[in-house]
Structure 1
Amino acid sequence: MNGTALETSNTAEAKSRFNAALEEARAGAMALGAEARERASAYRSQASTTGGDWAAEAKTKAAELANDGKKGASGALTSLSRLVADNAGTIEQNLGAKYGDYARTASQKLQETGQALDQKSLDQLGDDAREFVRKSPGVAIGIAAAAGFLLARLFRR
Structure 2
Amino acid sequence: MVSTSATPGATTTPTTTTTTSPVDTTAADTASPHRAEAKSRFNKALDEAKAGAAALKAEASVRAGEYRGQAKTKGTEYRGQAKTKASDLAVEGKAKASEGMKSLSRMVSEQAPKLDEKLGAKYGDYARSASRSLDENAAKLETKSVEELGEDAREFVRKSPGTAVGIAAVAGFLISRLFTSSK
TM-score by length of 1: 0.66
Give, as a single letter, the amino acid of the residue that structure 1 aligns with 2:135.
Answer: Q
Return 5+ residue gaps in structure 1 as ranges. Answer: 1-48
Pair 1:118 & 2:138 matched: no
Map 1:47-126 onto structure 2 (within 5 A).
Answer: 50-52=75-77, 54-126=78-150
1:51 is paired with a residue whose SS is: helix
2:105 is paired with a residue whose SS is: helix
How far 1:61 sits from its partner (Å)? Answer: 1.0
2:95 is paired with a residue whose SS is: helix
Give, as a single letter, the amino acid of the residue that structure 2 aligns with 1:129.
Answer: A
Identity of aligned residues (%): 55
How far 1:151 sits from its partner (Å)? Answer: 1.3
How far 1:152 sits from its partner (Å)? Answer: 1.2
Give, as a single letter, the amino acid of the residue that structure 1 aligns with 2:100.
Answer: A
Give, as a single letter, the amino acid of the residue that structure 1 aligns with 2:111.
Answer: N
Q: Which of 154, 158, 161 is matched with 1:130 structurally?
A: 154
Superposition RMSD on alpha carbons, in Å?
1.3
Task: Figure out how many residues of one structure are paired with residues of the other and give that number.
Answer: 108
Which protein is richer in helix relative to its size? 1
Q: Distance in 2 between matches of 1:154 and 1:94?
A: 33
Give, as a single letter, the amino acid of the residue that structure 1 aligns with 2:89.
Answer: L
How far 1:146 sits from its partner (Å)? Answer: 0.6
Q: Distance in 1 between matches of 2:131 and 2:173?
A: 27
Give, as a single letter, the amino acid of the residue that structure 2 aligns with 1:117.
Answer: L
How far 1:73 sits from its partner (Å)? Answer: 0.8
Give, as a single letter, the amino acid of the residue that structure 2 aligns with 1:94.
Answer: K
Return 5+ residue gaps in structure 2 as ranges. Answer: 1-73
How far 1:57 sits from its partner (Å)? Answer: 2.1
How far 1:104 sits from its partner (Å)? Answer: 0.6
